[in-house]
Amino acid sequence: MKNTKAEIRVVNEAEIEKLYAFTDKHYIPYYDLQTELVDHLANAIEAQWAINPELSFDEALQIEFKKFGIFGFTTILEQRQAALTKYYWGKIFSGYFTFFRFPKIVLLLIMTGVLYRTLLLSSYNNYIILTLFAMMGCLEIVTAFRWQVKIRQQQKVTGKKWLLHSIIRNIYIMIPVIMFGNSLNFLYKIAVNGTYGHWQILIFTFIIILLGFLEYVRIFKMPQLIEKETDKTIKSHQIVK
The C-alpha atoms of residue 233 and residue 81 are separated, in whole angstroms, by 15
pLDDT of residue 14: 92
Identity of the residue numbered 177? V
> What is the phi-psi region of residue 69: left when phi exceeds 0, alpha when psi lies from -120 to 50, beta otherwise?
left
Q: pLDDT 10s per residue in the chain (241 long)?
A: 444 444 678 999 899 999 999 998 888 888 888 888 898 899 999 999 999 988 999 999 999 988 887 667 788 778 877 887 788 788 778 877 887 788 888 888 898 888 888 888 877 777 777 777 777 777 777 777 877 787 788 778 777 788 777 777 776 666 666 666 666 666 666 555 555 667 777 887 887 888 788 778 777 777 777 777 767 766 665 543 3
Is residue 151 exposed (0-12), middle (13-18) or buried (19+ Cβ within 10 Å)? Answer: buried
Other Cβ atoms less than 10 A from the Cβ of 120: the count is 13
Cα angle 129, 135, 137; round to 5: 100
3-state class (DSSP) for residue 100: coil
- Say what the pLDDT of residue 16 is: 92
Distance CA 100, CA 95 (A): 9
pLDDT for res 236: 64
**Residue 239: what pLDDT?**
43
Query: Pick from 199, 193, 151, 202: which is nearest to 172 by CA?
Result: 151
Nearest to 48 by CA among 34, 35, 59, 32: 59
pTM > 0.75: yes or no: no
Count the neighbouring beta carbons within 10 Å of the beta carbon of residue 86.
10
Element (H, E) at 94: helix 74-99
Q: Rounded to whole angstroms, how far apart are CA atoms 102 and 110?
A: 12
Instruction: Tell me the C-alpha distance between 49 and 162, whole Å.
Output: 31
Contact present, 123 and 194 (Cβ < 8 Å): no
67/236 Cα distance (integer angstroms): 27
Give alpha helix (H) positions in 122-174.
Answer: 125-158, 163-168
